[in-house]
Structure 1
Amino acid sequence: MQDFGAAFGQAFALILSGDADLMEIIALSLRVTILAVAMACAIGLPLGALLAVGRFPGRGAATVFVNALMGLPPVVVGLGVYLLLSSAGPLGVLQLLYTPTAMVIAQTILVTPIVAALTRQVVEDLHAEYDELLRSMGARRLGVIATLLWDARYSLLTTALAGLGRALAEVGAVIIVGGNINHVTRVMTTTIALETSKGNLSLALGLGIILVGLSILVNGLVMGLRGSAARLAYA
């Protein structure tokens, strides 16, 4: 118990002192995660809206496929991206393997189905409510999608935050494509796994505390935005 107590004390000391290695790992984690979520939103928001509003052959199958991808195993994504970016793969010439860019790609693939599926549900519900009004105004398909996305912006922000929470906790894919290289691709989740296996509990606990804090912050923002959206809806 004394060892655990000392490890917790050292973990808080690392956080409060602004340890350089700790800050570097946190900064890289946030940079990779935020960029991946931004790219996932750029793809997933219009894709989800198209599945909600569009009427085309195979729409049902596409919706089922996107929903199924929400449960895509991270290690499978990591393996797929590894094969694409390895020297023998089709994108090996880009030499992106074991770089933060490869980690962004893997996380984008993981988060995009989540954003798309949640966006489809939000926009589909909104479309059912405003379909006749939009038709009477003569809105075209792209105009309908843009209008519904804007009207659902608060709900879609919670969707983006859900993707952010998913990306922050990811370890399987990023360790495969990033390699967990010190000062290059070492992020919070991979460092926690490595330092725990080495018995360096202070750094692992420090990063764990930060990660839990970020998760609480993300969930708090989600609840706050949902509350704001509900108040605006009844205003």
Structure 2
Amino acid sequence: MELLLEGLKKAIEMILSGDREILEITLLTLKVSITAVLISTFIGIPAGMLLGLARFPGRKFILALVNIGMGLPPVVAGLWITIFLWRSGPLGDYSLLYTPIAIIMAQTLVSLPIVTGLTSTAFQQINNKMILQVKALGATRMQLYWILMKEVKLAILAAIIAGFGRVIAEVGAAMMVGGNISGDTRILTTSIVMEVSKGNFDVALALSFILMSLAFIITFCLTYLQQRKRKS
């Protein structure tokens, strides 16, 4: 208990003192996590809609791959991204390994299946009679998709929340592709692992409180938006 109180005290001190390094680490954490979730959202929602509504050869196989991807170990995602970005890899000429872009790529790889899979499940649960009724009223294809998106908007926001929860807590892939380089690729999760390995448990706890606070604030805002839409 004393250690927890010491960690909380340390976190407050770091925030109030305006520690530049902590500020940079926190901002980078937000930057890569939000960017990864946005990419996953813009790709995952249309993909989930397609998998949920369309019927085409190989659809079940793709859905199986998406569902497998929802449980993809982050270190495996980190390994694949590392292979692609390695000097001898397909994208090696771009020198992206050990950069924030590499972390974003790894986090997108672990969050995209979650957003896609949960969105697909939401659209599959829509009653076919409703789709036929909307078409009978003369709705265009785009109008139909918009109406269906409004119908499952709560589930879509839940998918985004789940995707964000996955990336904000991710450490294995970020450590592998980012290298935990001070001032460049060090984020809160990798910093916590580093401080624990050094035996600085008070600093690690302080960073964990900051990380949990960020996760709580953003998740609370998304949840508020979700429930507000429900009331409307």
Post-superposition offset of 1:127: 5.1
Aligned equivalent of 1:188: 188
DSSP-derived class of the 1:186 partner: coil
Question: How many residue pairs get matched?
Answer: 232
Unaligned runs of 5+ in 2: none
Task: Tell me how large the CA RMSD over aligned residues is.
Answer: 2.1
Counterpart of 1:214 in structure 2 is 214
Counterpart secondary structure, 2:125? helix
Equivalent in the alignment of 1:57: 57
Deviations 1:129-180 (A, max 9, x none): 6212222134455553343224433432232122111110000111100000
Post-superposition offset of 1:16: 2.3
Q: Which residue of 2 aligns with 1:224?
A: 224
Query: Which residue identity does 2:39 align to in structure 1?
Result: M
Q: CA deviation at 1:82?
A: 0.1
User: Structure 1 residue 218: deviation in Å?
Assistant: 4.0
8 Å contact 1:85–1:91 — kept in the other structure? yes
Deviation track 1:85-112 (CA, whole Å, cap 9, x = no partner) reads 0001111001100000000011111100
Checking the alignment, whether the CA contact within 8 Å between 1:122 and 1:152 is kept in structure 2 is yes
Percent identity between matched residues is 40
TM-score, normalization: structure 2? Answer: 0.90
Instruction: Determine the C-alpha separation between the residues in 1 that align with 2:49 and 2:43.
Output: 10
Query: Residue 33 of structure 2 contacts residue 167 of structure 2 at CA under 8 Å; is this kept in 1?
Result: yes
* Matched residue, 1:27: 27
Measured against aligned partners, the alpha-carbon deviations of 1:198-234 in whole angstroms (never above 9, x if no partner) come to: 12233322210011122333443454344334433xx
CA distances 1:31-57 after superposition (whole Å, capped 9, x unpaired): 000011111111100000001110111
2:95 paired with 1:77:
no
Contact 1:155 1:229 in 2 (8 A): no
Matches within 5 A, 1:53-202: 53-126=53-126, 128=128, 130-139=130-139, 141-202=141-202
Write the distance in 2 (CA, Å) between the matches of 1:145 and 1:2: 55
CA distance in 1, matches of 2:127, 2:218: 28
